[in-house]
Structure 1
Amino acid sequence: MREIKAAASELEWLIEWMPDWMATLVLFALAIIAALMVHQLFMRAAERLVSARSMFWRSMVKRLGWPLRLALILGFLVLATEASPLMSSEARIVQHGLLLGLIALGVIAARIVLHIWITIYLRRFKLDAEDNLLARKHATQSKIFERIANLLLILIGVAAGLMTFEGAAKFGLSLLASAGAASIIVGLALQPLFKNIFAGVQMAVTQPIRIDDAVLIEGEWGKIEEITSTYVVVRIWDLRRLIVPLSYFIEQPFQNWTREEATLIGSVIIYLDYQVPIQALREKAQEVVRASPLWNGDVFVLQVTDFKEFTMEVRILMSARNSGDAFDLRCDVREQIVTFLQKEYPEALPRLRTELRGVAPKEVLQGMRSGAATGADA
């Protein structure tokens, strides 16, 4: 203790003989060194304390290391400013800047804690599972609430920073008191932003779409890849990205193929001649579908759904676990059915019939031969 007092008195004697700017720099340097030492000691104690606790606490201590380090540095610099030979006006400016830094670090720390909690919470759900409805539901709600909470934290941080300025509170009260035309103008200018934010809250509650949902929107098929606080990213089948405002999914109709479950029924439409043997075609289609690993074993139907002028419409229905499997299964059935008809029943493929009346078959053949000979001589 005596050694510390002796060192402090000696340091005070040295600072008195230094210029003000040099003394200020020395005090700031000592404050930073002291903050780093305190941070190191605190982190060691915190790591030992949470080593046997859950992953949330371990991750929080690890991820909050650098914000805590900066916060301690700013806090010690505030104390150093009090002891520095700065003028009162200069000291107020420096302390105000340090206070703004502490507010910003508080917002960053809150966002880090929120992200850690949501990440650990979502680890119990697997989006790559066959039946991932529950996982998509929780992932969608968590992502939307996280982005809205981040936006609110930023707004709170900005408001807290503005309130540190002299007269900011009075300005805010006067602005609210005289909202009138100014509030109308600001409201109209920010209407798209607020519209999408409220749409995000409504979407998190009602969930018309979820992460990894298969949707058909604006004539494009894709999957919901990301839901932000203002827009949705749809990954199109050919790896393009479709950016859609959140409000679109509240106001406009669209198709959600996986709203309640991922299972889908795919259809194959074939136009065939009236001579096609339906029973043989049904047996072959059933054989193809049952042999495919893409079929989930639930639905298979082959029906004649319509008669056209020259062909009949045959529809094959089959179910699959998800939209991707349904698409591949439909393509596989088309290929094998066409190959089967070409080999076994070529007369069943669509063709145009022409019937000639009043002309004997021999005369028709002689006319065709004579026409062919005339063309050869020419």
Structure 2
Amino acid sequence: MPDAWMRIGWAGAVAVVAFALFLVAERVLRRTLRRLGRRSPLPAELAEHASRPLRWLGAVLILRATVVLALPAGTWRDVIAHTAILALIATAAWLFGAVLVAAEQTTLSKLRVDVRDNRHARRVQTQITLLRRVTVAAVAVLALAAMLMTFPAARTAGTSLLASAGVIGAVAALAAQSLLGNVFAGLQIAFSDAIRLDDVVIVEGEWGRVEDITLTYLVVHIWDDRRLVIPTSQFMSKPFENWTRRDAALLGTVELDVDWTTPVPDMRDELTAILAATDLWDGRVSVLQVTDAVNTLVRVRALVSAVDAPTLWDLRCLVRERLVEWVRARHPYALPHVRTERLAPVLAARDGGDGAGGQDYTGLFGGSPDGRARERAFNGPPEP
């Protein structure tokens, strides 16, 4: 018995020394990667994300070797050794996931999404992010399966399940139909280029930017700082507006209801002057047209363009404000008016008198012989 304790003590001391040497080697490796990271981002990302799981992996390996070599055969050694195997699988999966994250961050760091024409960069960013999440999820599932297969009972159950894999697969597919639908919709988003991160969209009647895309849901940052979370399958099954799919530049309208006396050519010149004096306009489109003229008002529409949706919103507000100021200050008579007139004096003046000698327009169908005949047909003969 003293020999066994002495062997355990020596094994523990050797394990401590080995782990200390491993930490020194890991520290040297991390510093080397950081120095190399000055030239390439991948070593720096590996040093940032993989150092912690690497330390845990080394500790588990040394613990596993110590338990197998030092402890005598028995129940406690088997339990500790099996626990070390489970920890070894988990830390190895953690390290692999960290490497994937480092590779993702390295690729994303080379993409320029802070430029105006960043459509391709945002597309690649969306695809890489979703692929990394799919890969990490697959690694986690495989690690969990490997951990379960270390149990003899689980291996026996797995053999029995394989015999009825068809039934189990059908039941699992039916139970996970919604989840699988969202996962496939997420993959469709990644590779169809229908939507990307930071796209400007209108969905469910809300205007916002795509903030995050996962395998199961999508987050839209609404303009008033709310977050709209939508399942990916629901998002892809309903129509939505994508304002930045091909190009961020947009057209916008400003409509004003003014009086019929409004000088439209002068207003068109004023619109040109407003756009020329601001940096919000991209110089593509500047149009002012009368789009409607009914009742007492004339509707004037100004069509303008800008480089993106936020700039277009500010430009539309600016044009609307300046045109309203221009009408009020320069042409106050063009403000909307409601007119009421008596028709009888106008008709009498046109017919040259008080209306008695001219044609009678007061009847239902006018004062012509045909009109009087139609009136008698509808109203009957005049009363005696």
TM-score by length of 1: 0.84
1:40 aligns with 2:24: yes
Alignment correspondent of 2:210: 224
Alignment coverage as a number of residue pairs: 344
8 Å contact from structure 1 (residues 36, 69) kept in 2: no
Aligned pair in 2 of structure 1 residues 50, 334: CA closer, same or farther (>3 Å)?
Answer: closer
Query: AA paired with 1:261?
Result: D
Aligned-pair CA distance for 1:281: 0.6
State the 1:87 CA deviation. Answer: 3.9
State the AA in 2 paired with 1:39: L
Verify: 1:77 aligned to 2:63, yes or no.
yes
Unaligned runs of 5+ in 1: 1-13, 361-378
Q: SS where residue 197 of structure 1 aligns?
A: helix
Paired with 1:314 and 1:25, the residues of 2 have a C-alpha distance of 92
Matches within 5 A, 1:185-224: 185-224=171-210
For residues 133-282 of structure 1, the aligned pairs below 5 Å read 133-179=119-165, 181-282=167-268
Match among 335, 354, 364 for residue 321 of structure 2: 335
Structure scoring higher RCO (CA < 8 A, sep ≥ 6) equals 1
What is the distance in 1 between the residues matched to 2:119 and 2:4?
73
User: How far apart are 1:329 and its partner, in Å?
Assistant: 0.3
Deviation at 1:312? 1.9
Q: 2:117 aligns with which of 131, 137, 144?
A: 131
Moved more, 105-114 or 212-221: 105-114
CA distance in 2, matches of 1:333, 1:105: 60
2:3 pairs with one of 6, 9, 16? 16
Q: Alpha-carbon deviation of 1:275?
A: 1.2
- Of the three residues 332, 340, 343, the one matched with 1:357 is 343
Q: Which has the larger radius of gyration?
A: 2
Higher mean displacement: 273-282 or 172-181: 172-181
**Partner in structure 1 of residue 365 of structure 2:** none
Check the 8 A contact 2:33/2:43 in 1, yes or no: no
Q: CA deviation at 1:322?
A: 0.5
Indicate conservation of the 8 Å contact 2:219/2:228, yes or no.
yes
Partner letter of residue 153 of structure 1?
A: V
Decide whether aligned partners of structure 1 residues 316 and 176 sit closer, same or farther in structure 2, where only a CA change above 3 A counts.
farther
CA contact (8 A) 2:186 2:232 kept: yes
- Alignment partner, residue 119 of structure 1: 105
Q: Distance in 1 between matches of 2:2 and 2:292?
A: 99
The CA RMSD measured in Å over matched residues stands at 2.3
For 1:8, the equivalent position in structure 2 comes to: none
2:273 to 287, 292, 313: 287
**Which secondary structure does the structure 2 equivalent of 1:216 belong to?**
strand
The match for 2:291 is 305
Secondary structure of the corresponding residue to residue 355 of structure 1: coil
Following TM superposition, by how much is the alpha carbon of 1:49 offset from its aligned partner in structure 2, in angstroms? 7.4
Residue number in structure 1 paired with 2:46: 60
Identity of aligned residues (%): 35
2:215 aligned counterpart, secondary structure: coil
Distance in 1 between residues matched to 2:136 and 2:4, nearest whole Å: 50
- 92-101 or 162-171: bigger deviation: 162-171
Q: Which moved more, 1:124-133 or 1:249-258?
A: 124-133
The Cα of 1:307 is off from its aligned counterpart by 2.3
Seen in structure 2, the aligned counterparts of structure 1 residues 161 and 186 have a Cα distance that, compared at 3 Å, is: same
The superposition leaves residues 320-366 of structure 1 with CA deviations (integer Å, 9 ceiling, x where unpaired) of 11100000000011111001101111222222111123479xxxxxx
Name the SS for the 1:247 alignment partner.
Answer: helix
| Mapped contact 2:26–2:55 kept (Cα < 8 A) | no
TM (normalized to structure 2)? 0.83
Whole-Å Cα distance in 1 between the matches of residues 345 and 286 of structure 2? 48
2:261 and 2:333 in contact (8 A); partners too: yes
Aligned to 1:10: none
Q: How far off its partner does 1:99 sit? A: 0.9
The structure-2 alpha-carbon separation of the partners of 1:289 and 1:62, relative to structure 1 and needing over 3 Å to count, comes to closer
Letter in 2 for 1:127: V
Q: Provide, for residues 277-327 of structure 1, a one-character-per-residue CA deviation record: whole Å limited to 9, x for no partner.
A: 110110111111121111111111111112232222211111111100000
